[in-house]
Structure 1
Amino acid sequence: MMRLIGGVMLMACATLAGAASPPPLQDLDATVERVRERFDVPGIAVAVVKDGKIVLERGWGVREQGRPEPVQADTLFAIASNTKAFTALSLNLLAEEGKLKMDDKVTEHLPAFRMSDPFVTSQMTVRDLLSHRSGLSLGAGDLLFWPTTTYRNADVVERLGKVPLKGGFRERYAYDNILYAVAQQVIEKVSGQSYQAFLQQRIFDKVGMAGTRYNADHLHAGDQAAVGHAKFDFTDLRTVAPLTWQNNAGAGGIYSSVHDMARWMQVQLAHGTLPDGTALFSAKSQQQMWQMITPQVVAEPTVPELLPARPNFAGYGEGWSLSDYQGQKLVWHTGGWPGMVSRVTLVPEANLGVVVLTNQEVGAAFNAITLSVLDAYLGRSGHDWVDAYGKAVDKGRGKADEAWAKHQAARDRTSRPSLPRDAYAATYRDSWYGDMHISRNGKVLRLQFDKTPQLVGTLEHWQHDTFIVRWDDRSLNADAFVNFSLDPDGKVRDVRMQAISELTDFSFDFQDLLFVPQG
């Protein structure tokens, strides 16, 4: 999950005073500072592992814009979907113990599990939960937990049974988060532990990730955590409220630092061997997690400057993305969170790992830094990734502006709603999300998603029976068209929604909602 945006220059703050970068990374300071200036990132942390050693773990910038506290190697960030690799490992650890098989049907462990199609329900395996090939569309069901909702994990998994499938089972790749909520339930059911306790005892403690936290709700009073930043209305850089996924921690809950994530990369590159020589997991399990299950279509780069990064293959294993770069296999993942995005990249044959954590919502930042580090160690030089990703961001903005201009050109500004405003005010229900309320407040209509406190806003008339909801929280960057369809008697039959900007995060899956009036 992530949005593109980028500008604000802050002084660099290295974690280790006077610490010199290793020879291949002599230009990293300048690169990170260019990234921070070009993409408006207040703080960035980077760690690099090479040949089993942590050769760099540092921070640049500040934890919060306008405050002096520096980003350091132990500064905690939301690592978001980089959590998925921990969830995949948890299931494989249970498989190693013989408590489940990765090809077990999910219903063998969770009899009440349901997808919207009975056949898919009956055939879905534990491995399928991790590999994004269920038939769900991109981000389907995310509104059950994004932004933070009052649903419990059990509610999310139950409501999955109503989320529509848009593709064939095991037919194609479509990234989802909601099946990791199911994976979390499987872990808890089979292990007899909470997922929090399992992660802490079976992974964090053994790897040496002492500062890592289960999610935002479990940050300690003394933790030095970064504050997320976003471009309000895509323009004004400000801090955002923290988000928590207590109801789907398996998809993206963890908070960690580059100090701890460097240790995680060491164990991954050592094929599961811990620093004391014991095994956290087997090489066989790693082979399964790093084996392509779901191929992806390799997209053409958005600008010519990104052509050198275009992979020859791309796919997904179990909690890891798989592709190649400069003849080397990459095992990697990204994470997107309100105000924070990140990337973890492993190059197994080069025994190289890179983690980049940031406190702004611009993936171009972590990509530019990651590829610069890979180039430094893989013997490739001379390509300006900051400039390349800067041009990609600019093009993405331009494309979004063009799409909005087309909407404006098609708008009939003389049109009026078919009904008086009071006739649109009602409670509406979607089969998988639940209720949405529209109420009259003076001269305006207000919209509120019942289980999502942040999704409250004002309806502005667009044309005919279509409105735009302008969310009160301007950090969301997710204003949406709200279209009312009328029946032959002139009453509201249903309501559909669609994000108005192409830059809106895909987790606002408004397009999958179909609200019908209640009462």
Structure 2
Amino acid sequence: MKSTMFACTVVACFLGATAHARPPADRDVAELADAIQRGLRPSIVKMGEPLPAWTLQERMAHHKVPGVAIAIVKDGKLAYAAGYGVRETGTRDAVDADTLFSVGSVSKMITATTTLQLVSQGKIDLDRDVNAYLKSWRIPDAPGIDRPTVTMRMLLSHTSGLTVHGFKDYLPEEALPTLVQTLNGTPPAKNKPIRLQREPGTRADYSGGGIMVEQQLIEDVTGQPLDAVARAQVFERAGMRRSTFESPLSAARGNIAKAHDAAGALTALPRGWQSFPEQAASGLWTSANDLGAFVAALIRSYRGEAGVLPPGITRQMMSEVAPGTRGLGPYLAGSGSTRRFFHNGDNDSYHAAIEGYPETGYGFAILTNGENGYLLRGEIRNAISDALGDGIKPTIRTVALDLSAPVYADYAGSYRLDPVVPADVLGALPDWFGYESISITVANGAVTLALPDESPANLSPLSPTRFLATSVGAELEFHRNAHGVVHALSVVDGGSRIYYRRNAAPATSTATAGSVGGRGP
């Protein structure tokens, strides 16, 4: 009954919201908007099965996400923005293009753009020791690290060697830490101290902690809080009139998408939304209109048109920094017409994404206010890719294999990380798949991956040697040598690869050694 009531509420308010959305004048944009509403699909389908085509309201109800806002960019301009569903379940408070959502780590893109504005003005040098700028706090020396110099280029590209992947949300009644308390990991901060864990510049390792160092540097250099600096350097230049780093967000701002749990129930009561005091890393509140305008401004900046950054510094922003695959802020992928920058954002009850294609001028922003929003976000992303016809998110078809056949039995065993694989080959994979040891079992017609402190993951075959670990978000490729022996496997994500050598003795259980890292928020 609760699920039915939730679905009816979403559908009713979805129809109301779309009825008030301005229809796109551009035919291509209209087709994109229609695809978003009617063309959602899964990422993985078994070979031979028909491909589902879902409506947005169906999937909002399925995932119990009350509200969504989406912006479409064309030719480097915001072409369409609309809200779907409601700000609060059980009400008729419709989401619109100006509704404020928390966008998690998408915040890092605005922070990076703020920093790069200061770089373009000569106030920050990308390759100078950040301790030379910091006044209120400094990165402490770390035992065993001979060259502890951290630069802004390293902070922006997540190659700084600093700790703390992400941060926990704060409920309305909880005290909020100051920036220095967050950096030191002292109460009421919930995180550990932000410290060096390896020599800077030697490995890509996502660090929300490093972004908080970036915030402290911005505030020390300018003498102003991040929100004021971002307003002058980014919000006003990009036309982001509703965006703010305010923490906690004041109810007086109005038109706020409230937080909902996995069952679609209102949470973070009595206010209805959490606080994110780690502003630079995850504290931005923004709207579809604003976030779409930001994506558009970055595309124009890259093209040398009137945007938010000078073109030279934008091209640095959009160039990979080894040994990772990120630029100075964004994730980067593709080439030619599919060259793109992107970033996801995930707080407990809010999930967002941005993506832009500098060569074609297309882009989009997705904002949601439910704990399962990350699932819905992926299905919306599939619809956009299909409508653009860019081939970025093709349907993955799994194949039917008799995994009980003897040829697959010797995939089973324990595998240990090969430490000599160059960091440039590893890319960003160690961020979330840095396990020292993994284990494979083959039983009952299934191949299963076991990881420390996680539930076993069934692997879906893509070929006789290549399998998809859906819950992990990567592919596994087994290597059988010329002697017919399975001696290793690779974990593959795009152009990044981690190599595991098989232990001499087959595994007798799914127990594994400790992890040196794992997928974070």
Q: Does the 8 Å contact 1:107/1:113 carry over to 2? A: yes
Mapped partners of 1:191, 1:122: distance in 2: 25
Q: Which moved more, 1:249-258 or 1:125-134?
A: 125-134
Q: CA RMSD in A?
A: 3.6
Mapped partners of 2:326, 2:377: distance in 1: 20
Q: In the TM superposition, what are the counterparts of 1:311-350 in structure 2 within 5 Å? A: 315-324=325-334, 328-350=338-360
Q: CA deviation at 1:381?
A: 11
Mapped partners of 1:282, 1:226: distance in 2: 34
Report the residue type matching 1:82 in the other structure.
V
Describe the shift of the 1:226–1:325 C-alpha distance in structure 2 as closer, same or farther (beyond 3 A): farther
Q: Does the 8 Å contact 1:77/1:255 carry over to 2? A: yes
Q: CA deviation at 1:161?
A: 9.5
| 2:389 corresponds to | 378
| 2:58 corresponds to | 34
Q: 1:95 aligns with which of 97, 106, 119?
A: 119
Q: CA deviation at 1:99?
A: 1.5
Describe the shift of the 1:326–1:201 C-alpha distance in structure 2 as closer, same or farther (beyond 3 A): closer
Q: Does the 8 Å contact 2:194/2:210 carry over to 1? A: no
Q: 2:520 aligns with which of 488, 506, 514?
A: 506
Q: Does the 8 Å contact 1:135/1:172 carry over to 2? A: yes
Q: Does the 8 Å contact 2:341/2:356 carry over to 1? A: yes
Q: Deviations over 1:357-404 (max 9, x none)?
A: 00012312112212321221235599669x9xxxxxxxxxx9999977
Q: TM-score, normalised by structure 2?
A: 0.63
Q: Does the 8 Å contact 1:354/1:370 carry over to 2? A: no
Q: CA deviation at 1:56?
A: 2.0
| 2:376 corresponds to | 365
Report the secondary structure of 1:34's partner residue.
Answer: helix
Q: CA deviation at 1:244?
A: 2.1
Q: Deviations over 1:316-337 (max 9, x none)?
A: 1122111238961220001111
Q: CA deviation at 1:16?
A: 5.5
Describe the shift of the 1:86–1:350 C-alpha distance in structure 2 as closer, same or farther (beyond 3 A): same
> Quick one: percent identity of the two aligned structures?
23
Is 1:292 the counterpart of 2:320? The answer is yes
Q: Does the 8 Å contact 2:77/2:293 carry over to 1? A: no
Report the residue type matching 1:201 in the other structure.
A
| 1:190 corresponds to | 221
Q: TM-score, normalised by structure 1?
A: 0.63
| 2:364 corresponds to | 354
Mapped partners of 1:382, 1:127: distance in 2: 30
Q: Does the 8 Å contact 2:356/2:364 carry over to 1? A: yes
The gaps in structure 1 that reach 5 residues or longer are 1-6, 297-314, 388-397, 407-503, 508-519
Q: 2:178 aligns with which of 138, 148, 152?
A: 152
Report the secondary structure of 2:359's partner residue.
Answer: helix
Mapped partners of 1:93, 1:379: distance in 2: 31
Describe the shift of the 1:382–1:99 C-alpha distance in structure 2 as closer, same or farther (beyond 3 A): closer
Q: Which moved more, 1:195-204 or 1:129-138?
A: 129-138
The gaps in structure 2 that reach 5 residues or longer are 25-29, 41-55, 186-190, 399-447, 457-517
Report the residue type matching 1:197 in the other structure.
A
Is 1:205 the counterpart of 2:236? The answer is yes
Is 1:114 the counterpart of 2:139? The answer is yes
Q: 1:23 aligns with which of 25, 31, 39?
A: 31
Describe the shift of the 1:167–1:255 C-alpha distance in structure 2 as closer, same or farther (beyond 3 A): same
Report the secondary structure of 2:72's partner residue.
Answer: strand
Describe the shift of the 1:326–1:226 C-alpha distance in structure 2 as closer, same or farther (beyond 3 A): farther
Mapped partners of 1:33, 1:325: distance in 2: 34
Mapped partners of 2:393, 2:158: distance in 1: 36
Describe the shift of the 1:217–1:162 C-alpha distance in structure 2 as closer, same or farther (beyond 3 A): closer
Mapped partners of 1:218, 1:317: distance in 2: 30
Q: Deviations over 1:256-279 (max 9, x none)?
A: 1001112112211101689xx755
Q: Does the 8 Å contact 1:120/1:169 carry over to 2? A: no
Mapped partners of 2:194, 2:296: distance in 1: 38
